[in-house]
């Protein structure tokens, strides 16, 4: 956070205003670690500081709530890899243009990919030869 504030061309007052804070001294407090970043302000702070919102949010959750972060990683498979993010972006663009429907053979293949994505490495190894590794 401190590095992002220092690298910004904005003043702390401008960052605070863009992030919806009433007082600019909150930016100094965030920068020094004196106070935690309110999770609901991460989207606005990310925009003001030109940071990736998802990475910033996951980093804050990991720091402030490590157990919650671990559940997100274990259950949802977060964070997504760059390849997964690219695939999701392509899918969203095609869906917005009405070029893709998740039905028929594509739907079944997509469901298979999603099922595969939920498997852990140990599950994959077990499923390959029938015995856990």
- Number of domains observed in the structure of the chain: 2
Task: Write out pLDDT tens, residues 44-88.
Answer: 999 999 998 888 998 899 988 999 888 888 887 777 778 877 878
If asked whether residues 53 and 89 sit together in one domain, one would say no
Q: How far, in Å, CA of 127 to CA of 27, rounded?
A: 51
Range of the domain at 7: 2-76
HEC sequence for the chain: CHHHHHHCCCCHHHHHHHHCCCCCHHHHHHHHCCCCCCHHHHHHHHHHHCCCHHHHHHHHHHHHCHHHHHHHHHHHCCCCCHHHHHHHHHHHHHHHCCCCCCCHHHHHHHHHHHHHHCCCHHHHHHHHHCCCC
Task: Write out pLDDT tens, residues 18-52.
Answer: 999 999 899 999 988 899 988 999 999 999 999 98
If asked whether residues 65 and 86 sit together in one domain, one would say no
């Amino acid at each position: 956070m401190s590095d992002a504030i220092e690298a910004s061309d904005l003043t702390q007052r401008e960052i605070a205003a863009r992030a919806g804070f009433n007082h600019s001294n909150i930016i100094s407090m965030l920068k020094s670690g004196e106070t935690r970043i309110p999770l609901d302000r991460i989207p606005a702070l990310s925009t003001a500081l030109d940071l990736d919102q998802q990475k910033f949010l996951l980093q804050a959750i990991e720091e402030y709530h490590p157990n919650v972060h671990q559940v997100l990683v274990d259950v949802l498979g977060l964070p997504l890899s760059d390849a997964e993010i690219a695939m999701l972006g392509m899918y969203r663009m095609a869906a917005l243009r009405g070029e893709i429907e998740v039905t028929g053979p594509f739907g079944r293949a997509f469901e298979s990919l999603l099922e595969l994505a939920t498997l852990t490495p140990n599950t994959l190894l077990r499923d390959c030869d029938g015995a856990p590794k």
